Structure 1
Amino acid sequence: MTAPQRLTDRKRAAIIQAAITEFRANGFDITSMDKIAATAGVSKRTVYNHFPSKEELFAEILNQLWARVTGGQETAYRPDQPLREQMRVMLATKMKMLGDDNFLDLARVAIAATIHSPERAQNMVAQMGKREEDLTVWIRNAQADGRLKPVDPGFAAQQLQGMLKSFAFWPQISMGLPSLPPEQQSIVVESALDMFLACYQLP
């Protein structure tokens, strides 16, 4: 890797870190690309060279958070493995994400932006929602393999996500409660698996 490339990477990383700082401190609407540039110690032109819009910058932050939490973990359906074991891995990863303070702070930013400007903020919320599509695809594949009942995969995935979020997302977002400790996360995951598999798993 050449020195200019390393400098470009360093600038990009500085922009992302500055954006996280500004979004967390001031919210989406008040944070400007000018302020992000100043905090990052780069020109406004440099910021726009990396990120054409504030929305795309926010989406990239969410992408990086997700990648850091999952570590590139495989979520593809495996016909040779028990359903519960596969799902436990996916849900544990989801709980880890929901317990990340940076993610929770940025989720608050996205939700507040949506309340104040629904149309402009829809892309941010959609970006967060994309991270839940893996479970929908997994359910669809398990159904095709004859292991789950023929319920709408998106509906079933939303049910399952909702069981986790009712304990590990909405109380933290709306009431400022602390993230669940690991043992409590495990209890929520196992309970959600019990309910989901009792309802949808074929004998």
Structure 2
Amino acid sequence: MPARPEELSRAPVAAPLADPPARIVRAARAHLFVHGYSTWTMDDLAAELGMSKKTLYQHFPTKEDLGRAALEQFAAEVRAEADAIIADRNLTFAEKLRGFTGGMHQRLSQLAPHILRDLQRSAPALHDFTFEMRRKNVPYIFGRLLEQGQLTGKVRPELDAPFAAEFLLHAMQGIMSPASLEHLHLAPHQAFEKAMSLYFGGLLTPAGRKDYEKSFPG
């Protein structure tokens, strides 16, 4: 029995607790996504994990290194999830679209609204890194989704898929900026949901739009 899209959108199973780097990254990611970069220290994290500061610094020499590892983990999970959904031949295009966007909505809902602004102020290099992650993932993932949609007659055939994916990248880079989110009074997951509705609403064929409306009621 094929997996449902919502099952595919679940985060991958965490690494074993015995793996110190994995434990450290998970704990740092939880702090980063919920409270922000500026609210925790490496010393606090070592105490929380019950390990010496020496052990923590052996794996991650700086707080910025650890923050980058947490963001890289997030991006890798998104890409792996997309690969699994896109490769599943038992799913329709609408189910793949629902599975991926639903998973992204779930992941982004873990981000408190102030997180990106906090990164921009406290760790500008990491804030810039979020742009780099989108630059790699958005064209790769949505380019493949659009091409599959065209092959199944759900996305307009005259569409230049690579251009449309690049267009989405630049739109997402702008809409996910702290200034835009604050101006629109939106959390990251809300902005993503609105962007997907607007984007695919203009790219789908009548048949694709019918399937889309069934998969995304309301």
Q: Return the TM-score normalized by structure 2.
A: 0.54
Structure-2 separation of matches of 1:49 and 1:37: 12
Structure-2 separation of matches of 1:25 and 1:84: 31
Percentage of identical aligned residues: 18
Change in CA separation of 1:37 and 1:176 when aligned onto 2, cut-off 3 Å? farther
Change in CA separation of 1:125 and 1:36 when aligned onto 2, cut-off 3 Å? farther
Change in CA separation of 1:86 and 1:20 when aligned onto 2, cut-off 3 Å? closer
Q: How far is 1:66 from its partner?
A: 6.3
CA contact (8 A) 2:81 2:100 kept: no
Instruction: Verify: 1:114 aligned to 2:120, yes or no.
Output: yes
Q: 1:48 aligns with which of 52, 57, 68?
A: 57
Structure-2 separation of matches of 1:170 and 1:60: 25
For 1:31, the equivalent position in structure 2 comes to 40
Higher alpha-carbon deviation: 41-50 or 20-29:
20-29
Higher alpha-carbon deviation: 28-37 or 15-24:
15-24
Change in CA separation of 1:44 and 1:50 when aligned onto 2, cut-off 3 Å? same
For 2:12, the equivalent position in structure 1 comes to none
For 2:160, the equivalent position in structure 1 comes to 150
Partner SS state of residue 86, structure 2? coil
Change in CA separation of 1:95 and 1:113 when aligned onto 2, cut-off 3 Å? closer
Give the 5 Å matches for 1:15-94.
15-20=24-29, 22-23=31-32, 27-29=36-38, 31-64=40-73, 72=81, 74-76=84-86, 83-94=93-104
Instruction: Verify: 1:95 aligned to 2:102, yes or no.
Output: no
Tell me, which stretches of 5 or more residues in structure 1 are unaligned? 1-5
Structure-2 separation of matches of 1:110 and 1:13: 23
CA contact (8 A) 2:138 2:165 kept: no
Q: How far is 1:149 from its partner?
A: 1.0
Change in CA separation of 1:36 and 1:78 when aligned onto 2, cut-off 3 Å? closer
Structure-2 separation of matches of 1:80 and 1:18: 36
Structure-2 separation of matches of 1:150 and 1:24: 35
The one-character-per-residue Cα deviations of 1:148-199 (angstroms, maximum 9, x if unpaired) are 512614334337858x97xxx947x97477x77xxxx7x9866653333259
Which residue identity is paired with 1:51? F
Instruction: Verify: 1:126 aligned to 2:137, yes or no.
Output: no
Change in CA separation of 1:48 and 1:141 when aligned onto 2, cut-off 3 Å? farther
Change in CA separation of 1:192 and 1:170 when aligned onto 2, cut-off 3 Å? same
Q: How far is 1:85 from its partner?
A: 3.9
CA contact (8 A) 2:79 2:141 kept: no
Tell me, which stretches of 5 or more residues in structure 2 are unaligned? 1-15, 209-218
The one-character-per-residue Cα deviations of 1:34-93 (angstroms, maximum 9, x if unpaired) are 232222221222223333432342233345556778984514368997544432332222
For 2:201, the equivalent position in structure 1 comes to 194
Residue-pair matches, total = 180
